[in-house]
Amino acid sequence: MRPLAAGGYNRNASAPRHAGNATRRPPIPANGPEGARIDLTLAPQAAGQRLDRALADRLPEHSRTEIATWIRDGRVQIEGAVVPGKARVAGGEAVTILVPPPKPSHLVPQDLPLEVVFEDEAVVVVNKPSGLTVHPGAGQPDGTLANALAWHMKDLPELGGSDRPGIVHRLDKETSGVLVVARTELAQRRLSAAFAERTVGKTYLACTHGTPRDATGLIDAPIGRMRNHRTKMAVREGGRESQTRWKVLEAMPRHAFVQCHPRTGRTHQIRVHLKHLGHPILGDPLYGLPGQPGEEHTRRLMLHAHRLEFPHPLSGERVAFEAPLPPEFEATLAALRLLDPPRRLRR
């Protein structure tokens, strides 16, 4: 990473478009009781993005609202200068952020089951069951994975907020599978950067209504929130860049067992992309086909995070962890294999 420029912002012909709005400030101090300091470099692909959005992509464990507050409070400097959140970046700039102390936590440690796949001094990898929310939110104050982590593991970092100890990525409540949690601030920063830079390999297994015509393919379609339904996402113009590669592992009479590799990490990405493909996931309450054959065989979303591969935050060595299919997922697949194929329409 480039260090913070000692001479401040360089106002020259090659400067980003936000140069005219820059305000000189003294360098942000090093770590202290007021909060933690983050030094990062924006990716070249961020060119043209608003600063708040570029930082939201770079720091997925922090919300865009939180980042906008830091910018407004002067806690974010680009090469020594403070700029507004709406300023456009050129990509490659050195950014320094002074994160304020976390707000008092209302997270209650709870003795909930926690299946640990792997742990060392930097990370813990867990197998999250379907039906478990990752962290507290609206309508879900407790009973989450974060509550369980607070009980089983002490002193997890709180860079993502005191209610999200060590959380660097999320799985939907209905999705089961492998999830990594950081145990130190250094690990959290490096893992968050790995997710933002797309150096994390993710493999999901899903069961879809119907079988795609091709054996494999790439869905490259932007995803954004539905304007008339803010809790749902959709493929739409103006959405965020999203890519999912998929492959049919098994064609069943009325369904398919599919492997998915999301390159990006948008909300509900695989669910929305498979619906866009014309083959929504079985058991999906938001994007699925309720009442269709096969739905009676499951009470869960048939989506499982099977494998996660990432650079270890201490050694840099690529490591991979897997979570086997849950028994109820296997049982549903077995039942679907016994269904009669759909009748062909007479001509």
Active site residues: 172
Using alpha carbons only, how large is the chain's radius of gyration in Å?
22
- Answer for the pair 25, 61: CB distance below 8 angstroms, yes or no: no
DSSP 188: H
Task: Label each residue of 197-233 as H, E or C.
Answer: CCCCEEEEEEEEECCCCCCEEEEECCEEEECCEEEEE
- Answer for the pair 286, 271: CB distance below 8 angstroms, yes or no: yes
Rounded CA separation 63/303 (Å): 25
Residue whose pair of structure tokens reads 């269709």 in the numeric block: 292
- Answer for the pair 121, 147: CB distance below 8 angstroms, yes or no: no
Which among 269, 291, 287 is positioned nearest to 278, based on CA atoms? Answer: 287
Secondary structure of residue 137 in the 3-state scheme: strand
Rounded CA separation 207/130 (Å): 15
Question: In 153-296, which residue ranges form alpha helices assigned H by DSSP?
Answer: 185-196, 269-277
Element at 331 (helix H, strand E): helix 327-336
Rounded CA separation 45/51 (Å): 13
